[in-house]
A and B are shown apart, each in its own frame.
Chain A
Amino acid sequence: MPNQKFIFPEQQFNRLFPFYFIIDSDLKVLRVGKSLSKLLPEMEQKKIDEIFIFKRPGHDELSFQTLGQLNQLIIIESKGAERITLRGQFEYLDDSNHLLFAGTPWFYSMDQVKAKKLTLHDFAINDPMIDLLQVLKTEEIVSGEVKELLEHMQRQKNESQTTAQRLGQLITNLQAGILLEDENRKIVLTNNTFCQMFGIPVPPEQMVGWDCSLSAEQSKHLFTESEAFVEKLQTY
């Protein structure tokens, strides 16, 4: 049926595309779908560039010709306070030399839909817009929770950093000599008293990361009683 024509009574067409509009070759609006006219009541007889800003495509010189050939997603936004976003496509109508816009308004939340005084009945039954809002809402809730979790973790991290700093300061100035190694015999922490005890001529912070199994051997020349130093350290 290559040339079969589909002819719809307007009422039925309105059920399928309640946000449609039709423009003539001067880009003047001739007819507006029943739900779209609820949103933008005074479209008829105006030129589309008086009513809408083209978001996508946003950089083309738009003529009747190019709009008819654009085989592309169209995003337009109404001028003025209303700021209604529509997404859809243009189709060239051969018989009448008009362009049909078939599309739906785009909302970011059910609240917006309500604020525009639309209800479920204003959308075509086949239009998944409302369901998508549901999905977006769930996503919004989840990412809010993830954000909260992250902030919580960031706070905990900062707190434990502060605690570690305080403890570090306390240990540095403690009267007892301390040296803490990790499981690979690397120095994790030591303090002034320890350095003084062994006469180590470097500040304790600098010793962090030293390998204890080697560093005693390597640094023994720094000490007057070098062998005794190594021996003494091995016992720790």
Chain B
Amino acid sequence: MYGIVNKAIQDLVVKEFGTTAWEKVKVRSGIDVDFFISNQPYDDSITYSLAQAVSEETGLTLSQVLIAFGEFWVLHTGKEKYGSLMEAGGASLREFLINLPNFHSRIMLIYPNLKPPEFRVSNVSENSVRVHYFSERIGLQDFVRGLLQGLGKLYDLPVEIELLQSRDDGSDHEIYKISW
């Protein structure tokens, strides 16, 4: 994944646990990269090793780490680095989710090595939306959950997130129902 993703993991660890903890995470993961450049592609295995090492170092489960990372991505990385892009996504959570499919499609064109997820929305109602998540990558369901939770917080809405189907139970993609 692009360096920005690994950098965000670094920022999360440093913010919540301090720089020493991040150095330990790096040693534990066995990754010898001093500095991640946001717009350079890195092997996916680096991201997965980092997430695993954060879990071992902090005692959080991998699932908790991914959820925390998802929230951090929206509330810090997204807000601080792509503030206006995030805001351009919509004036409300509902509008943002409806625009979600276009989000990575646009980024994808600028970064040719991107293998971004694909989103689709269905069953749009006044206070709920179904978000369909298609990805070439595995094991990131809780990351998506964290992202959606983060979006709820971004729009100051208490949200309920239900995973209706998943590749884990044989479907070809995940469906999340977000209600508020």
Contact = CB atoms under 8 A, between A and B. Distances in A.
Interface of A: 56-60, 72-73, 75, 85, 87, 106, 108, 136, 139, 143, 146-147, 150, 153-154, 157
Given A150-B34, A153-B34, A58 B118 contact: yes
Contact of B37 (A58, A75, A143): A143
Interface residues of B, number: 18
A72 B118 contact: no
Interface string B11-55: 000000000000000000000001101011000000000000000
B159 to A, nearest CB: 24
A87 B105 CA distance: 10
Given A139-B39, A147-B40, A73 B134 contact: no
Q: What does DSSP make chain A's interface, helix, strand, loop or mixed?
A: mixed
A56 B37 contact: no
A120 B100 CA distance: 33
A72 B37 CA distance: 31
Contacts, number: 43
Interface stretch (B62-70, B82-90, B106-114, B161-169): B106-114
Nearest to B104: A56
B39 A59 contact: no
A29 B110 CA distance: 28
A106 B106 CA distance: 11
A190 to B, nearest CB: 23
B102 interface: yes
Contacts of A106: 109
Contact of B105 (A56, A60, A147): A56
B131 to A, nearest CB: 13
